[in-house]
Amino acid sequence: MASAEVTSAIKSIESAPTADRSSRYASLLQSILTSSSSDHLAANLIAYAQSILGDALGIVASRPLLATFVEQFGKVEDAEVKIEVGQKVKTLLRGKGTQYEEQDTQIKEILAGAYEDEEEYAKSAEVLKEITLDSSQKVVSNDDKAKVWIRIVRCYLEVDDPTSAVFHLNKIKTVIHSVTDKTTRLMFQLSQARIYDSQRAFLDASQAYYTLSLETVIDEDERIRALSSAIICAVLAPAGPQRGKMLAKLYKDERANQADNFSILEKMFLDRLLSPAEVKAFSAQLQPHHLAKTADGSTVLDKAVLEHNLLGASKLYNNIGIDQLGELLGTDADKAEDYAAKMLEQGRLAGYIDQIDRLIYFEGEGSGERKTGHTERIVGKELRKWDANVQGLAEEVEKVTTMIQNQYPEFYASHMVH
């Protein structure tokens, strides 16, 4: 409830001559902002706003008073006061049509900012969605639209709601080609990367973060942070040829050794097996959704490490028993076989499984293409190996013969005659 002094002053102004009201309202606002206690500030500001938007003043007099109120209100430091007053003023303006459209937008932006200060991002997004962007009173530029939409996107990402974030990001995509503000464009790139990340499209996220890390207009620390995020997403991506290309790109970047997670990037790029201690240290850098449980009960990180170590094992062995593979990967044999089967089927690993002898045979690099059957690959496999060995032996014999001919031409010629 407003203080007695403010209530009395408002009644006095409302009954004063019309010509004196504007100046007296201006003086009262300054008095409220400078002398109101924290207990009465919100109530006094609400009472003031109700009065200037009431019937005591016409639109011509009230609009500049409201503009001044909004300007001063934005400087209030108490987020709770801003929320209480902002909600009330927003409601008061709801029935005013387009007469106070600009002030209505400003109030909503201030209110959204107060919610963000209190980390109530979902409420901030809801307020921002109420801002009129298709105005009949003025042309809203694509830059201004994009700024509001990107702010909504970032709020939804803070509460882990990628579905709503994608909806508003798609709105930005319709105008981003004409947006000139560099900050907005960079926020668009970052939001796209974060959405890919939250949706576990880690390869796309890694590329998006890496592209952002190359933007020279960003501070060096922010660029390294984006590069580090690109490395994290590349590590968590499904093991295979595509991830291998991304790891190579990141590893060859001269800035990579400045990132905190360079050691795990190096090991993955070089196809070295990861130890539990290394995985535990890396997990401390991850976000909650990176550690979320998958369908088989393991985390995203567990799955990524197991697939990587499986790929690393394929570089060390021509074949390995399923039970031995399980021991090497630190899991049970059935799970090891299941992961290997999926990677083979998806073309991320080359080889085949002999379930009778319980052996897995590795055949070099995966093609990255999904396999539709195993017969063609298995039939003639041993014969092709025999042909390759014979060809190799013939080539070696020919090399030796050529060396003899070059070093001992007379001996070679005498034996060729016979």
117: which 2 tokens? Answer: 């200060």
19: which 2 tokens? Answer: 């010509």
Q: What's the average model confidence in pLDDT over 136-148?
A: 88
What pLDDT is recorded for position 375? Answer: 43
What pLDDT is recorded for position 230? Answer: 96
Q: What is the pLDDT of residues 155-165, one digit of tens each?
A: 999 998 989 99
Give the model's confidence band at 208: pLDDT under 50 very low, under 70 low, under 90 confident, else very high.
very high
DSSP 177: G
What pLDDT is recorded for position 178? Answer: 93
- Whether 194 shows a pLDDT value over 80: the answer reads yes
Please state, for a pLDDT cut of 90, what percent of the chain lies above it. Answer: 45
Q: What is the pLDDT of residues 84-131, one digit of tens each?
A: 999 999 999 987 777 888 899 999 999 999 999 999 999 999 999 999
CB atoms within 10 A of CB 256: 20
Write out 11-47 in H/E/C secondary structure. Answer: HHHHCCCHHHHHHHHHHHHHHHHHHCCHHHHHHHHHH
Q: What is the pLDDT of residues 298-337, one digit of tens each?
A: 788 888 888 888 888 888 888 888 888 888 887 888 888 8
What pLDDT is recorded for position 383? Answer: 57
Q: What is the pLDDT of residues 344-389, one digit of tens each?
A: 888 888 888 888 888 888 886 665 555 544 444 444 455 566 677 7
Question: Mean pLDDT, the chain, as a whole number?
Answer: 86
What pLDDT is recorded for position 171? Answer: 95
* Cα of 55 vs its chain's centroid, Å: 50
Give the model's confidence band at 79: pLDDT under 50 very low, under 70 low, under 90 confident, else very high.
very high
Q: Rounded CA gap, 240 and 91, in Å?
A: 55
Q: Rounded CA gap, 48 and 54, in Å?
A: 10
151: which 2 tokens? Answer: 């702010």
Q: What's the average model confidence in pLDDT over 377-403?
A: 71
Domain spans, the chain: 1-118, 386-418
Q: What is the pLDDT of residues 257-306, one digit of tens each?
A: 999 889 999 988 988 888 888 888 888 888 888 887 777 777 888 888 88
What pLDDT is recorded for position 385? Answer: 64
Q: Rounded CA gap, 143 and 145, in Å?
A: 5
Residue type, 125: A
Q: Bigger pLDDT: 117 or 404?
A: 117
Contact 51, 13 (CB under 8 A): yes
94: which 2 tokens? Answer: 């709801």
Q: Return the closest-CA partner of residue 206 out of 245, 258, 244, 246.
A: 246
